[in-house]
Structure 1
Amino acid sequence: MWGWPVDETASGSRRVPLRTADVSRESGYSVQQVRDLERLGVIPPAARSSNGYRSYTSAHVHALRAYRGLAGAVGPVAARRMLAELRTETIAAAASAISTVHVRLARERDEALRAQQALDAIRGETNTPEYEQESDAMTITQLAAALDVRPSTLRFWEQEGLVSPDRVTSLRARRYGLSAIRAARIVAALRGTGYGIPAVRGMMGSLNQLDGLEETRRVLGRRLDQIAMRTVALLRAGADLAAVVTSAEGQPSVR
């Protein structure tokens, strides 16, 4: 429900149509990009004047700015889908969807930090056997939930030689001790950074070498930097996302 924005003037309320060039200047996208993003459904179709020219509103500008931030936070495909949903959801549902992205980014950051801690623990290990409490171990279901991956993903990592759980009980159920948990956290962080299985295998195999440890630490540092940039992109889009949500509810845009 994308209505005309209302600007208060001395003479009262009036509608303010915008040209494609105006939207381009205000949003930071080129004229062609504005048209392309309209075609992709990032913004609703512009009204057409009698002479066939597109006529936009400030709601379109807010949507484009919101898309830029969302795309930086979750990627362009997910951002397009999310914006389409925000335009039809209630304020409560839309706000919850946006909060979920913040929570996801915070969780990714926490997991990257835990991976760094696991790396530090590996660096500090000596030849002294590592004794574990039974409560330190995890089942495959518990570890998958902690890493926000599927149990099948952990099985695949095992097949690829990235994580080696213990096997206990007559049913040979998987049991992940501290070393395996640390390895799984590092693998999850490396995979989240975009590294393929062969590259991850090489990095995991080099953790017993000083240069391997340092390279992995640099990668995890870049992972944290990427998450920080995605978080900043989402924060910058905050006011525009609020405008999208409230205009979808037929309420005044947040200014």
Structure 2
Amino acid sequence: MSERALRTSDVARVSGYSVQQVRDLERLGVLPPAARSANGYRGYAPVHVRALHAYRGLAHAMGPVDARRLLVELGAGTLADAAAAVGAVHVRLAREREEVLHAQQALRAIGDETGEDPPEHEGDAMTITELAEALGVRTSTLRFWEDERLLAPARVTSLRARRYGPDAVAAARIVVALRGAGHGIPAVRETLRTLRRGGGLDETSRVLRDRLDRIADRSVALLRAGSDLAAVVTHRAAAVHRTVQCAVLPADDAAPPPRS
């Protein structure tokens, strides 16, 4: 791409965003500030296009709100900060993928049941804290799911502490995956009700496969965004370095007189 100053319309055409979106994203701090000519027109550079590509990939991987927040925070960040931020999103996606894989295992276990209740052992049960940590959710979320009739934990001990057996753990893993796929509480409740009747396995399996495909798509988008984000952060760091260097140079009138 040419190093000449780019107009707003040039950036919009190359990036796929509208002219107004380019201006809005600059105003929000997603883009580095554009240079201004004497008559007030914006002058963009190739780094602005890369910033828009980074935003597009991050928005696909983590959502537009989080993507905007991340890019604004990295406005004064370092390359190490950017690498850490992208790494954290990779970890989040890996966790989502693991949740879906666990849900698939639980779904296969439901499909393999012969109708007889498998024996449960006390050692197989989990406390509400243990289950919440295993699923990456809050204990209040598990209580809410219980109120919504998505989970049915067994209560033991005189204090009525919740204990979740293998069936409840399997159901909880499926709930996490379905909620992550965007299914509302009524839809999840109906899916679980269908599964408990011995049907709905194929449809739920399809939903989980689609969820894995979307996570993979988001992971690829994040990989692409990483390269553009590194270029933007490096450009900003270099600009700051140049500014600091100019600030410490002696002024012309402070230069020592020539030696005779």
Is TM-score (shorter-chain normalized) higher than 0.5?
yes
- Matching of residues 230-245 of structure 1 within 5 Å: 230-245=218-233
Q: Is the 8 A contact 2:32 2:75 kept in 1?
A: no
| Aligned with 1:27 (options 15, 20, 26) | 15
Q: Which position in structure 2 is the counterpart of 1:228?
A: 216
Answer yes or no: is 1:122 the counterpart of 2:110. yes
Answer yes or no: is 1:160 the counterpart of 2:148. yes
Q: Which position in structure 2 is the counterpart of 1:140?
A: 128
Give CA deviations for 1:31-75 in whole Å, capped at 9, x if unaligned.
232122223322133221012210112221111110000000011
Cα distance in 1, alignment partners of residues 28 and 56 from structure 2: 14
Q: CA deviation at 1:228?
A: 1.3
| Aligned with 1:186 (options 174, 178, 188) | 174
Q: Is the 8 A contact 1:86 1:248 kept in 2?
A: no
Q: Is the 8 A contact 1:168 1:175 kept in 2?
A: yes
Q: Is the 8 A contact 1:69 1:236 kept in 2?
A: yes
Cα distance in 1, alignment partners of residues 168 and 195 from structure 2: 13
Q: CA deviation at 1:201?
A: 0.6
Q: Which position in structure 1 is the counterpart of 2:234?
A: 246
Amino acid at match of 1:69: G
Bigger radius of gyration: 2
Pick the structure with more helix per residue. 2
Q: CA deviation at 1:18?
A: 2.0
Q: Which position in structure 1 is the counterpart of 2:205?
A: 217
Structure 1 pair 79/125, CA: closer, same or farther in 2 (3 Å)? same
Please list every run of 5 or more consecutive structure 2 residues that lacks an aligned counterpart in the other structure: 241-260
What is the CA RMSD across the aligned residues, in angstroms?
1.9
The ranges of structure 1 where at least 4 consecutive aligned residues each deviate by more than 4 angstroms after the TM superposition are: none
Amino acid at match of 1:233: A
**Matched-pair identity in %:** 66
Give CA deviations for 1:143-200 in whole Å, capped at 9, x if unaligned.
1111111100000000111011111112111111110000000001111111111111
Answer yes or no: is 1:47 the counterpart of 2:66. no
Q: CA deviation at 1:121?
A: 0.4
Cα distance in 1, alignment partners of residues 132 and 239 from structure 2: 42
Please list every run of 5 or more consecutive structure 1 residues that lacks an aligned counterpart in the other structure: 1-6, 8-14
SS of the aligned residue for 1:175 comes to strand
| Aligned with 2:67 (options 79, 92, 96) | 79
In the superposition, the TM-score normalised over structure 2's length comes to 0.86
Residue-pair matches, total: 239
Q: Which position in structure 1 is the counterpart of 2:89?
A: 101
Cα distance in 2, alignment partners of residues 76 and 29 from structure 1: 14
Q: Is the 8 A contact 2:99 2:173 kept in 1?
A: yes
